[in-house]
Homo-oligomer: A and B are copies of this chain.
Amino acid sequence: MKRLGILLSGRGSNFLAIASSVAAGELPAEIAIVISNRGEARGISAARERGLLAAVVPSRGREREEHESEVVSLLQQRQVDLVCLAGYMRLLSPQFVRAFPHRILNIHPSLLPAFPGLEAQRQALDYGARVTGCTVHFVDEHLDHGPIILQQAVPVLESDDLAALSSRILEQEHIAYPEAIRRVLGGGWTIEGRRVVFQR
């Protein structure tokens, strides 16, 4: 059974989608730890309600290196195979990324390389995009940049405002993230250039 570590900063709706997928037996994995950098994160209480190990490692007012090494150390203690960022509002340092080579995933609410960074849904609306979506990718040292595992398109409707579009993208995120984890854990893939190539 593969072991997942989840990092979040907020409500962790993608964490809940992953947890449900695990509970339903759709993902051959277990959640070994949930870590938040914010004590008040709703994802932490949700994890505890589900009987999962949840830890708060506060980032505020601390050196990044010190904070990160504590997080890395917790993930390693829990022998995590895959780290899943689920609304984790911090950029990982190159040192963090190197500690888990091709073993950190993130989800982003656009079809990368379009609309990286904050407020991707608003960026898509402002740009007048007619199609946007979500992307699950390996995390590298650059923001919203690593090799892509899965993308799901979401049309922008004439009637869409920010809330409606964000909510339709989020629905797809909740499907895409567990599916991407399943594919990565299934193995049989290599990375060529920046392409993830699945052999099976």
Instruction: Show the binding face of A for B, using Cβ within 8 Å.
Output: 111-115, 125-131, 133, 135, 147-153, 155, 158, 193-198
Contacts and interface: CB of A to CB of B under 8 A. Distances in A.
Determine how many copies of this chain the complex contains: 2
Contact of A131 (B129, B133, B147): B133
A75 B128 CA distance: 29
A126 B195 contact: yes
A126 B158 contact: no
30 contacts: A111-B129, A111-B131, A112-B114, A112-B129, A113-B114, A113-B115, A113-B129, A114-B114, A125-B195, A126-B194, A126-B195, A127-B148, A127-B194, A128-B148, A128-B193, A128-B194, A128-B195, A128-B196, A129-B151, A130-B135, A130-B148, A130-B149, A130-B150, A131-B133, A131-B151, A131-B152, A133-B153, A153-B153, A153-B155, A158-B197
Nearest to A132: B111
Contacts of A149: 130
